[in-house]
Structure 1
């Protein structure tokens, strides 16, 4: 029986046989570790990674859109990418898009894909790369925060002259009760009302002018989960 004795040089073995043979062992991602022996030495050859990843990022553009961007430094026989999505960080990934790869390249390549149906909460993404010979590799997993509506408020008329002030809110899906707080220029709370209903067009009227002197004021309007701020001026 042939015998092999490992040398100190990594990847080489001395051989006491004239037989030539190749032994392949599968590795993760579909790659192979091949050991080829001639009359004197055995050499281990590990197939190269299909791609060298640079970075992967995710950016929420709106309630219904997330942009996933990734870059590779090198590609070897890269056939295509699969964009995968999950509501968990480690499992449950599904393919939502396929993007052609750069085949073989030694320069940085940039790709992007739009997810038009992200989860309402945190969404996790990764990229699966598939080689022409069936090899594959995964990028790192990135997370994208859930969509948060931005509550905004506008006061009018502004400036106001001893009259009711209307606050117009945007960023709510439906009218709801809100809390209203007014602060003077020194940051002191001078007016407060809770559970104030909004009209169907997301407006709220208040009449604090009878209690306030002329000056510069801030308004804070709160819902259960959001806060909006604006400023206005009362004239004498």
Structure 2
């Protein structure tokens, strides 16, 4: 396991009430509790969802005490926008070092109410660092370096700044314009958005790139309007793998704006409207290799009850946007979604395999699984994983992939020895380079009888047959109806059917219970002697 990102002594900490993030899922940062309306010093909750909006887990950030972090008010539009580092290992956002319920946070003095960077890792732990910055203004966006030792951050004032985790100090990178909205990195380059309406100091800018050759300098993206759009967050793609982004989506006050790069200039590809006043913020997205569809995830609405949505642009990389929107999740009553990004540990925005469907059904004494992919890139194989109610997944088979495909590919697998009752299945898709991603879990209920343990008597012998789908150590014992143990042994079971003979010749007639315990799971049968 990697070391904690921040080693800040008193100001760095982690929690244990978490679970590992699943690569390829979404993370939504939420201000406010699921059940209670909050209007000041809003509590912070990080929620993991699948790309179709299925809830996975919630991790709450502490909101009281010396290490507490909260957001301001529900109407703070760009405050708390999350971002991933370029290597996609660190998820970051900013809040206030204050307790839940504290009022007037955006106007507070940062020397007494520090602005706090929150950093999540792929294992679900988080750390914090406090900064005396953005005094009298709200902290808006922050992104970590690939090493996790430095940050770039923006707020309502004080320009674009860089901060260091060990010193907890910041320095100016771009002093003006003000009114920065978000900051993000693509490779080693730093990009930002701003709503600044002034052209002084020149040049005017709405989406810009930090000029690494001159201190305090920046370059507006050529062709992107410098006065007519109010950008929030943005997503850049490198569709031709040239090392230079060539596709841009921007969340605006009324929808999703698209641009593509042509001859060094960004060309306007139109606006997909989310409705008048339906602000689109905190966006992220992905492209499936071999496909020209682009999926953007974002938050529609700026206040309580806003929504996580997906917007799919199927027009191609250089054509006028032609998109459809799907509402995925609505924020709980009294809470606000701040933004969305992928889980830390998601290694790429160009996904190798797009799973179209995954389902299962009982078929006589077995379970048949069927799934389909819409496209594939470097798809080596699928591992089929299964668990019972203990949710300890184990591989039960392997199905070869089709490598590269741009059309629908169908797969099937038969589980010849399912559990009686609940069977949970999951697919692990593995690339040729060894990287892997897991699917959602599906449940198949069977009406089968438990075949793990069967017994019959022959003469004075009890023949016990025990089935396991992989080698295991088991405990086998027999009790009478009063609970008294009359026989006990430890068994080393091999894959398949195992037999154990017990001499009953000296046991009195009566009712007895045979039990076998395998990996903590108990299987029993009653018999009469």
TM-score, length-scaled by structure 2 = 0.22
Bigger radius of gyration: 1
The higher-RCO structure (CA 8 Å, 6+ apart) is 1
TM-score, length-scaled by structure 1 = 0.46
Which is strand-richer, 1 or 2? Answer: 1
